[in-house]
Amino acid sequence: MKLKIILKYFFSGCAITLLSITVIAQEKRFVPTGIRIGIDLSLLGISAFSSNRRGYEINGDIDFDKFFLVWDIGHEYRERISPLFNYNSEGDYFRIGFDVNLINPRKNQNNNVMFLGVRIAKAFYDDRVTFSIIDNNYVIIDSFRRNFGLVANWLELTAGIKVRMWKNLYLGYTGRLKFSKDLKGDEALRPFDIPGYGKSGERSLFGINYYIT
């Protein structure tokens, strides 16, 4: 179900992209030179070495002169274990937005990118917790709670680079300032994590992803 929603947004993004290409390609310098598809190395690396966090993120961009339409699609499972509780969240997320390349495209034969950008992001996920709380007056609570169908929205300001390493292979990073988070669907359990965002209790967060494209 969540994947269907993500795919719906993804294909809507593709449709907007194609429409944008049709419209702005009328001016020759806005004709895209190619589409870059990449993966988030940091999340893959964490998944390889951690049993408490796993996931993947695929990203892509398409250029219109010095502007880029950018999108990310990801899935993340995260578990938090302490002596008193075991919390986990799992779900899908996407981001879509624009970057502006600060390198002059006419002097940029390698298609390197040094960018500033904005994103809108959305996550669809479930979470649950099993816990023990000792209450002095009532019986010891040993129970679990869960949320289904949580939806989170947030915005991002981004900055980063993509540098051509060899032929069509690029390496780079994206630094993100995530803010303006809005979370819906929490009731008996206040969510601790949001896939693609991080700790839900933080009003704003810094994040960094390393990409191979």
Partner 1 sequence: MKIFGVMLIIFSIAGCSEIVDCKRETKTTARISFFKKTDGTSLEIAFDTITAIGTDSIFFTVKDSLSVYDIPLDPNSISTTFIFIKASVTDTLNLGYENQFIIIDQDCAPEIAFDNLEIINTSFDSLKIVERRLLIEVENNIKIFL
Residues contributing to the site for partner 1 (CB under 8 A): 80-82, 84-85, 87, 114, 129, 131, 133, 135-139, 141, 143, 145, 159-161, 173, 175-176, 186-190, 192, 201, 206-208
| Residue 139 burial (CB count, 10 A) | 7
Question: CB–CB of 181/154 below 8 Å?
Answer: yes
Residue 31 in 3-state DSSP? Answer: coil
Measure the CA–CA gap between 49 and 42, rounded to whole angstroms.
11
Nearest to partner 1 of 122, 176 (CB atom): 176
Min CB(190)–partner 1 separation in Å: 5
Min CB(80)–partner 1 separation in Å: 5
Nearest to partner 1 of 35, 208 (CB atom): 208
Measure the CA–CA gap between 176 and 54, rounded to whole angstroms.
20
Min CB(137)–partner 1 separation in Å: 4
Q: How far apart are the first and last CA of the chain?
A: 29
Question: CB–CB of 189/116 below 8 Å?
Answer: no
Nearest to partner 1 of 87, 93 (CB atom): 87
Nearest to partner 1 of 81, 169 (CB atom): 81
Min CB(168)–partner 1 separation in Å: 21
Nearest to partner 1 of 41, 159 (CB atom): 159
Question: CB–CB of 127/88 below 8 Å?
Answer: yes
| Residue 31 burial (CB count, 10 A) | 13
Bridge partners of 154?
Answer: 121
Min CB(81)–partner 1 separation in Å: 8
C-alpha distances in Å from residue 77, one per residue of 87, 93, 177: 11, 11, 22
| Residue 21 burial (CB count, 10 A) | 15
Min CB(67)–partner 1 separation in Å: 18
Nearest to partner 1 of 5, 118 (CB atom): 118
